[in-house]
Amino acid sequence: MTLREVVHARGHENVSAEHASTFEVTSDDWLTPAGDCILAVEADRVPADFDADFVAACRDADATITATLTATTADGDTYTQTITGSGDPDLSFENERSHVGRTSDYVDDRTVLVDADGAAADVDRDLVEALADGADLRFELVVE
């Protein structure tokens, strides 16, 4: 069974997407230049909002979790990228602030997937530029 959660957020002028091992979407409404893993701010949902069935499916070590990032500019241009990772029995989805995808197997309450095949630094630069210009982001997580 395929389960999905969708989060809407927006880019920010300080989006640089240079972090080599994580990517993040946060509900915070600000971003400093130091936040080089953050792709978008003002997320309308956080991990703690996710459906219990979705969370349970993500806790399967054999689960595949796909994050699809779709940025849409004010002009209607769209940029999409997919990052695929794995589930983990330790995923809690209890954080009330941020979603973090990790290329490692490290898990904390912000982690939504591990063993990702990409991080912020791997995101297409056109997509990053759109987010730095304030594009809207649709952040979709699908677990199978």
pLDDT of residue 59: 98
Rounded-to-integer distance, Cα 45 and Cα 60, Å? 22
Q: Long-range CB contacts (< 8 A, 24+ apart) of 28-31?
A: 28/97, 28/98
List the domain range (segments joined by +) for residue 97. 3-143
Give the separation between CA 92 and CA 4, rounded to whole angstroms.
16
Q: Report CA torsion sign: 124, 13, 8, 59.
A: positive
Give the mean model confidence (pLDDT) for residues 89-107: 98
Res. 1: pLDDT tops 90? no
Q: pTM of the entire structure?
A: 0.97
pLDDT digits (tens, 9 = 90+) for 99-134: 999 999 999 999 999 999 999 999 999 999 999 999
Are 17 and 120 a contacting pair, CB within 8 Å? Answer: yes
Instruction: Measure the CA–CA gap between 119 and 89, rounded to whole angstroms.
Output: 21
CA 116 – CA 45 distance, rounded (Å): 21
Closest CA to 112 of 3, 35, 1: 3
pLDDT at 7: 98
Structurally, the chain folds into a number of domains equal to 1
Q: What CATH number does the domain containing 27 carry?
A: 2.60.120.630
